[in-house]
Amino acid sequence: MNNVILVRHGETAGNAAQRYIGTTNEPLSQEGAAALRTRVYPRADRLFVSPLLRCVQTAAILYPAQPYEVVPDLRECDFGHFEGKNYIELADDERYAAWLASDGHMPFPNGESREGFALRATDAFAASLAKCGEGESAAFVVHGGTIMAILERFARPARAFYDWHVPNGNGFVVRVLHGGTLEVEGTLW
């Protein structure tokens, strides 16, 4: 059994403006970086990071000088036409209304489907965990959507995708049980 820390990256300017920030390679805001420095995060033997700048910067703040592995498929969902926009800017968009009516199950116009994104991210998580030795702890510095996908697929008791939402800079401490099931021990804060 392994202990795993799932950390959502610190806040970016787009996050603060409630924009859909998926593939946009946005840096942490000054406020987001400063907030990360006010907390002590659990240590880990292995560190896996999304390739997007906001995650790489978060990992550098939380785990300075620790080597890490960039895992491309841990990146956030491609929000397609909604990328960089917020709900106010999309209020009159028929595609956005249809996506909302589907409870987020429709693919993003010119982007990924939630199912395709979730499969990509959870397969990358499982492959990364397989690299850990028995009893070795791991931290994943990733995106909110990535964490929601991982926990929806592997956590027991089961909860829906959006029930696992986590604020910037926060996350979950989980224990990997036999068979790959995750037991959530709690949030970081």
* CATH number, residue 90: 3.40.50.1240
Give the pLDDT confidence of 112-146 residue by residue, as tens digits.
999 999 999 999 999 999 999 988 999 999 999 99
Q: Count of alpha carbons within 13 Å of 173, Cβ hemisphere only?
A: 11
- Tally the domains of the chain: 1
Q: How far is the first Cα of the chain from the last one, in angstroms, to the nearest whole number?
A: 23
**Cβ count within 10 A of residue 116:** 13
Give the pLDDT confidence of 81-120 residue by residue, as tens digits.
999 999 999 999 999 999 999 999 999 999 999 999 999 9
Residues 37 and 130 sit within 8 Å (Cβ to Cβ): no
Residue-number span of the structural domain to which 113 is assigned = 2-187
